[in-house]
Amino acid sequence: MDELIKNLVEAYGPSGFEDNIRRIINDEIASFADEISIDSMGNLIALKKGDGSGLSVMVAAHMDEIGIMTTHITENGFLRFTNIGGVRPQTLMGSRIQFSDGTTGVIYTEKMDSWNGLHGQDKHYIDVGATSKELCPVGVGWAASFVRPFADIGGRYISKSMDDRIGCAVGVESLRRISEVGTTPHDIFFVFSVQEEVGTRGAQTAANALKVDVGIALDVTLTGDTPEAETMAVDLGAGPAIKVKDSGMISHAGLVRQMRSRAEERNIPYQMEVLERGSTDARSIQIAGAGCAAGCISIPCRYVHTQSEMVDANDVENTVQLLVEILSNPITL
């Protein structure tokens, strides 16, 4: 899966500007899905038909990533900007960014009284090499993503946008394996959703349209295994995390039991996740339409919402195995 992951995480695709990453994923899944469509929000929806004996299931992984958008150009060609999603000031200075046309820039900060301090986002600017406003190659309202290449350091993968391109990679690989097996009880809608980072908007519209029985989000979660980390019972390399609760939803108890049972039957390592801050597409899926049984399988990730998010290769593979096992067998809630 390394080449797939590299292609996904390095691609451009901030929230609201997912055209490029959607094309990449569409090419990856074209030969595995029975039907592929794109809805009015821009969600990529791939249907794998079941044998008619099971439930309808929506599996959601969001394509978008955090980024920035230009708001103003100074007379000497520097750019002011706002955030797209959860961008933190401490991750900005010195970061390299790229616009959809390939224009590259570097983010820096205004003079500080002390280098031990930290300016807010409003005191940062982008330098694209322009010498004046008239010669600036970038306009107001242009979106950019951060630039950071994929790296494999001993089975630990590092890159920008692991959140949630790693979930997309799990979705693509799971669809491939299920299509090779040839049968599933369920009609499975793999939804590669848009605008999750700005409010799980894509998943909400898709879930309202599809009206499924079961929803499963694939996303990253925090870990509690770094120095002085917030207390959390999730470690990198200890297996996929089955979400019980986050700040936006409580998972369906029957679905959580089913996930645990499938993992134990196949000796797939897993962890139980309670996330105190943050949520996923599962929140929107759960309450769409008349509601459905929803949950989330999380890939443990260090340094979330930075340009060097880290996941473990074994966790990724075990997440694929767990999802395939769930979708290949009857789901009883």
C-alpha distance from residue 14 to each of 131, 164, 201, 208 (Å): 27, 11, 14, 23
Q: Is 232 in the same domain as 296?
A: yes
Q: Is 115 in the same domain as 77?
A: yes
Q: Is 80 in the same domain as 212?
A: no
Question: Residue 87 maps to which CATH number?
Answer: 2.40.30.40
| Beta bridge partner(s), residue 44 | 38, 192
196 in catalytic set? yes
CA nearest 300: which of 224, 197, 219, 220?
220
Is 154 a member of any domain? Answer: no
**pLDDT value of residue 127:** 97
- Annotate 280-298 with b (16+ C-beta within 10 A) or e (fewer): bbbbbbbbbeeebbbbbbb
Is 151 a member of any domain? Answer: no
Is 295 a member of any domain? Answer: yes
Is 153 a member of any domain? Answer: no
Q: Is 177 in the same domain as 273?
A: yes
Q: Single out the residue in 146, 178, 207 at which a domain terminates.
A: 146
**pLDDT value of residue 258:** 96
pTM of the model: 0.95
Domain that holds residue 76: 67-146
Q: Which of 28, 65, 173, 196 is the catalytic position?
A: 196
Q: Is 24 in the same domain as 127?
A: no
Three-state secondary structure call for residue 23? helix
Q: Is 137 in the same domain as 273?
A: no
Q: Is 321 in the same domain as 221?
A: yes
d(CA 208, CA 52): 22
Is 207 a member of any domain? Answer: yes
pLDDT digits (tens, 9 = 90+) for 4-29: 999 999 999 999 999 999 999 999 99
Q: Is 166 in the same domain as 221?
A: yes
Q: Is 61 in the same domain as 79?
A: no
**pLDDT value of residue 181:** 83
Which amino acid belongs to residue 90? Q
Is 333 a member of any domain? Answer: no
CB 299 within 8 A of CB 316: yes
**pLDDT value of residue 301:** 98
Mean of the per-residue pLDDT values of the chain:
96
Q: Is 39 in the same domain as 71?
A: no
Is 20 a member of any domain? Answer: yes
pLDDT digits (tens, 9 = 90+) for 276-325: 999 999 999 999 999 999 999 999 999 999 999 999 999 999 999 999 99
Q: Is 191 in the same domain as 224?
A: yes
d(CA 255, CA 332): 8
Question: Residue 268 maps to which CATH number?
Answer: 3.40.630.10
Q: Is 276 in the same domain as 313?
A: yes
CB 189 within 8 A of CB 212: yes
Q: Single out the residue in 96, 117, 146 at which a domain terminates.
A: 146
Is 235 a member of any domain? Answer: yes
pLDDT digits (tens, 9 = 90+) for 187-234: 999 999 999 999 999 999 999 999 999 999 999 999 999 999 889 999
**pLDDT value of residue 244:** 98
Q: What is the number of structural domains in the chain? A: 2
Handedness of CA 125, 131, 136, 137 (dihedral sign): negative
**pLDDT value of residue 325:** 96
Q: Single out the residue in 124, 146, 168 at which a domain terminates.
A: 146
